[in-house]
Amino acid sequence: MTARLIKRGRLLAVGDIHGCLEQLRALMARVAPTDQDQVVFLGDYVDRGPDSRGVLDFLCDFARRFPRSVFLKGNHEAMFLDFLCGRDRLSFLANGGKETLESYHGAEIPNDHLHFLDNLRLYFETPEVIFVHAGMRPGLPPSQQSEEDLLWIRNEFLNSGYNWGKTVVFGHTPQSGGPLLQPGRMGLDTGAVYGRALTCCDVETGRCWSVPAAEAKRKRFLLF
């Protein structure tokens, strides 16, 4: 008797969103995730863009519909949480937090948004891939990294040739020429909030989907 093949879903990663709700909606419509897929969001859902509240609404609903999804904390979520608990208000406001607050139109932050923010992961690991927001300090496994490095590191990670034995998938640093796809590294922040694209990648095949900001705006205009 021939064994029945079980279809395995995709392992997908989404770059920095920064309040760009229309691009997120268009991107997910194009990728069309299923229950067999696992989607990893790399952080920086809020700040700078036009609709951070809408993005968090979308992601909370996405988590309910696709419970295998993974949501990482970005440095902007860390600043938002520091602002909300009164630890550091200035850093948040100086880095796009004003736009986030404006998206709530003076209303209180909903409890489901607070729960979402409080339960974000610092990293996610599979046998072949490490997902992280910013990167990692060379020479240390994910479990020994500091939260500050996982959320903020740039040059020490980007300029290093260190091999963690797995592909590191990250956001945080905008890639000007589209997603960075190199052996051992994938950089998926493609500058959506700067008028460029929002990107999702099937990390096992390297296939990418991108929605440019201009395309999302054009589709939104056509709906009215």
Q: What is the pLDDT of residues 64-78, one digit of tens each?
A: 999 999 999 999 999
| Residue 11 pLDDT greater than 60, yes or no | yes
| Residue 222 pLDDT greater than 50, yes or no | no
Q: Would you state the pLDDT for residue 198?
A: 98
| Residue 175 pLDDT greater than 60, yes or no | yes
| Residue 224 pLDDT greater than 70, yes or no | no
Three-class SS of residue 168? strand
When pLDDT is averaged across residues 138-145 and rounded to a whole number, the result is 98
Three-class SS of residue 16? coil
pLDDT in tens, 209-221: 999 998 877 665 4
Annotated domain spans of the chain: 11-222
Q: Say if domain 11-222 classifies as CATH 3.40.30.160.
A: no
Cα–Cα distances in Å, from 126 out to 38, 59, 154, 166, 187?
Answer: 11, 22, 23, 9, 17
Q: Would you state the pLDDT for residue 214?
A: 86
When pLDDT is averaged across residues 3-30 and rounded to a whole number, the result is 89
Q: Would you state the pLDDT for residue 1?
A: 36
Phi and psi of 23, rounded to 5°?
-65, -40
| Residue 7 pLDDT greater than 70, yes or no | no
User: What is the percent of the chain with per-residue pLDDT over 70, rounded to a whole number?
Assistant: 94
pLDDT in tens, 146-171: 999 999 999 999 999 999 999 999 99
When pLDDT is averaged across residues 52-58 and rounded to a whole number, the result is 98
Nearest to 189 by CA among 65, 20, 51, 10: 20
When pLDDT is averaged across residues 104-113 and rounded to a whole number, the result is 98
pLDDT in tens, 114-136: 999 999 999 999 999 999 999 99
When pLDDT is averaged across residues 25-39 and rounded to a whole number, the result is 98
CA 168, CA 172: separation in Å to the nearest integer?
13
Q: Would you state the pLDDT for residue 8?
A: 82
Q: Give the predicted TM-score (pTM) of the model.
A: 0.94
Contact assessment for residue 169 and residue 153, using Cβ atoms and an 8 Å cutoff: no
CA 136, CA 12: separation in Å to the nearest integer?
20
Tell me the pLDDT of the chain averaged across its residues. 94
Amino acid at residue number 184: G
